[in-house]
Amino acid sequence: MVVLRVTLLEGRPLEKKRELVRRLTEMASRLLEEPYEEVRVILYEVRRDQWAAGGVLFSDKEGA
């Protein structure tokens, strides 16, 4: 079993997330020699006012 938890800013379209989990699963399954079904992916979609780099929330960054 492998669990991949992906923390990313919210707002990606469903199609993107669908492709992301499929591709990550394929790769982890192949490289780690785990059965396909035993790879689990959880997406943690974080709001821009819940994530900071360099002490500044993404919601406060110019052009964010």
Residue 13 CB, shortest distance to its own copies, in Å, is 10
Q: Which residues bind its own copies (CB under 8 A)?
A: 1-9, 12, 14, 16-29, 31-32, 36-37, 39-46, 49-57, 59-60
- Identify the CA nearest to 6 among candidates 56, 45, 60: 45
What is the SS3 assignment for 50?
Answer: helix
Residue 64 CB, shortest distance to its own copies, in Å, is 11
Phi, psi of 54 (to 5 degrees): 65, 25
Closest to its own copies by CB, 14 or 62: 14
